[in-house]
């Protein structure tokens, strides 16, 4: 079964390929689908559904898409769905976004409790309903960058139980506990039961 990963984000593609290794996963680039879907939903689920449906219609393949982000309790769950667009600096880098987040946290009491949230959607050709799975990984934001792996907010997202940031974990360690890893494990179950859908 060929399944399209409905994103052009190479980091997301790699993580999904690592987690759902038993499936024949293809990317939009491999199918010459050079599109970006505007993420204008009000929730992670809406954005994931929109991307899954869009790429499913364009490709005719079962499509998995996700939307994810960081929610910080003392910032009223910001940056949330705006995690990638959180920093107002034009052409902001991941480092810019991390620095901007820490700047906004410095006058808040610690620990800075946070969670990564992932909503994954599966669109199936000819089926009107989108299947949804969620994953959450709780942790804290720290004000020093640690580790060299991962991407985005990973160097400042700290898992107290492990004493490490996401960036200090191996890919397999991260995928075992991450929001995306948890969501994709649920996606695996949904894919196994597609015949009943």
Whether 156 contacts 80, CB under 8 Å: no
pLDDT digits (tens, 9 = 90+) for 80-127: 999 999 999 999 999 999 999 999 999 999 999 999 999 999 999 999
Which residues fall in the annotated binding site? Answer: 7-12, 38, 67-68, 151-154, 174, 179-180
Per the annotation, where are the binding residues for substrate? 7-12, 68, 151-154, 174, 179-180
* 67 flagged as catalytic: yes
Q: What is the mean pLDDT of the chain?
A: 96
pLDDT in tens, 10-45: 999 999 999 999 999 999 999 999 988 999 999 999
30-to-14, 19, 39, 81, 133 alpha-carbon distances in Å: 14, 19, 22, 27, 25
Cα 107 off chain centre by = 28
What pLDDT, in 10s, does the model give residues 127-147?
Answer: 999 999 999 999 999 999 999
Q: Residue 195 above 90 pLDDT?
A: no
Topology of the domain covering 2-196: Maf protein (3.90.950)
Domain ranges of the chain: 2-196
For the cut 90, the answer to whether the pLDDT of residue 197 exceeds it is no
From the candidates 34, 40, 66, 67, give the one annotated as an active-site residue.
67
120/106 Cα distance (integer angstroms):
32
Residues flagged as binding site for Mg(2+): 38, 67
Q: Which of 175, 176, 45 is nearest to 123 (CA)?
A: 45
């Amino acid at each position: 079964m060929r399944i399209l990963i409905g994103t052009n984000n190479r980091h997301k593609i790699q993580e999904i390929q690592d987690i759902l290794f038993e499936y024949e996963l293809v990317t939009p680039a491999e199918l010459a689908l050079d599109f970006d879907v505007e993420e204008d939903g009000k929730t992670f689920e809406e954005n994931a559904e929109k991307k899954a449906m869009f790429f499913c219609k364009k490709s005719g393949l079962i499509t998995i898409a996700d939307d994810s982000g960081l929610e910080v309790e003392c910032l009223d769950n910001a940056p949330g769905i705006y995690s990638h667009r959180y920093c107002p600096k034009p052409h902001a880098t991941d480092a810019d976004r991390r620095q901007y987040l820490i700047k906004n946290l410095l006058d808040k009491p610690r620990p800075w409790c946070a969670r990564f949230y992932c909503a994954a959607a599966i669109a199936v050709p000819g089926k009107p309903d989108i299947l949804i799975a969620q994953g959450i990984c709780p942790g804290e934001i720290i004000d020093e960058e640690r580790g060299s792996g991962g991407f985005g907010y990973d160097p400042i997202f700290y898992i107290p139980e492990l004493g490490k940031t996401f960036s200090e974990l191996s890919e397999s360690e991260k995928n075992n506990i991450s929001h995306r890893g948890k969501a994709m494990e649920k996606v695996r179950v949904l894919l196994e039961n597609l015949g009943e859908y």
